[in-house]
Amino acid sequence: MCENPGCPQHRGDAVIFRQLLDPETSTYTYLLADEESREAVLIDGVLEQLERDVALLRELELELTHTLETHVHADHVTSSGHLREQLGSRVAVAAAGGVANADVELRDGDVVTFGGYALEVLSTPGHTDGCVTYHCREAGMAFTGDALLIRGCGRTDFQQGDAAMLFRSVRERIFALSAETLLYPGHDYQGRTVTTVAEEKRWNPRLAHPKRIDVAVPANLRSGLVAPQETAEPAGERRPVADLMEEQGRQDAEPWLGMGI
């Protein structure tokens, strides 16, 4: 029996969860609701899908309390303002996003509740400076927007993009969540829907530890004239690429970052 009083199984009810797709922009919208109270939140609604989402909320007999944005998007228009007009929901977005008519300006550590559930706001800037990740501890889920995509990261070449900052956000905030946490991205362009912290740590080519970096980088800084065995670090003391880059004064994390707007 689960000992965690916040756990859905322990409480005898469950979170209602729907992952919705806008095929035109490959954008995911997420609906979360408390089965008992019927309170719901919608993350990253898309204007073109407004009628679909309103219909779903009505069919499931849910009360939309908040719309949440993971960031100010560059590839689609949000439905949040229209949902507020139609359903009375509150528009919540990061304070750093600079949205003029938001009802709730979110900051790191803030909590948005729906029924007995809570979403904690983690500041994860880098794709934009107002990017946040929403973490639902009770359900073991996090919604990363474009900070972390499945096997990739969001672009950093516009909207205050900062590759080094994004690298730190992912490694220090998202990767600090428990290994089994389910990660739901803002987009996927290849039909994938969900990943985990453990899976991305192992397989994300933008963030994984390059196999030979501890040997190759020191050797190449001497034009390859140092024998590999002289530069290899003892097993168990490998350091992340970000530390090595910082140590060498390099800010060019860009090659590690990939698709996603």
Q: How far is the CB of 74 from Fe ion (least distance, A)?
A: 5
Q: How far is the CB of 132 from Fe ion (least distance, A)?
A: 12
Options 6-14, 52-60, 205-213, 253-261: segment touching Fe ion (CB under 5 A):
253-261
Residue number, 96 or 261, with CB nearest to Fe ion: 261
Residues 146-175 that bind Fe ion (CB under 5 A): 146
Residue number, 92 or 147, with CB nearest to Fe ion: 147
Exposure letters 125-140 (e unless 16+ CB within 10 A, then b)? bbbbbbbbbbbbbbbb
Residue number, 69 or 146, with CB nearest to Fe ion: 146
Options 15-23, 145-153, 216-224, 240-248: segment touching Fe ion (CB under 5 A):
145-153
Residue number, 87 or 170, with CB nearest to Fe ion: 170
Calpha distance 155→166 (Å, rounded): 10
Residue number, 8 or 97, with CB nearest to Fe ion: 97
Residue number, 82 or 127, with CB nearest to Fe ion: 127
Question: Which backbone phi and psi does 20 adopt, to 5 degrees?
Answer: -115, 145
Options 78-86, 142-150, 214-222, 250-258: segment touching Fe ion (CB under 5 A):
142-150
The CB-nearest residue to Fe ion is 146
Q: How far is the CB of 19 from Fe ion (least distance, A)?
A: 17
Options 35-43, 85-93, 139-147, 191-199: segment touching Fe ion (CB under 5 A):
139-147
Number of residues counted as binding Fe ion (CB under 5 A): 2
Residues 115-134 that bind Fe ion (CB under 5 A): none
User: Pick from 92, 106, 114, 102: which is nearest to 33 by CA?
Assistant: 114
Calpha distance 173→179 (Å, rounded): 12
Calpha distance 130→99 (Å, rounded): 10
Site residues, Fe ion (CB under 5 A) = 146, 261
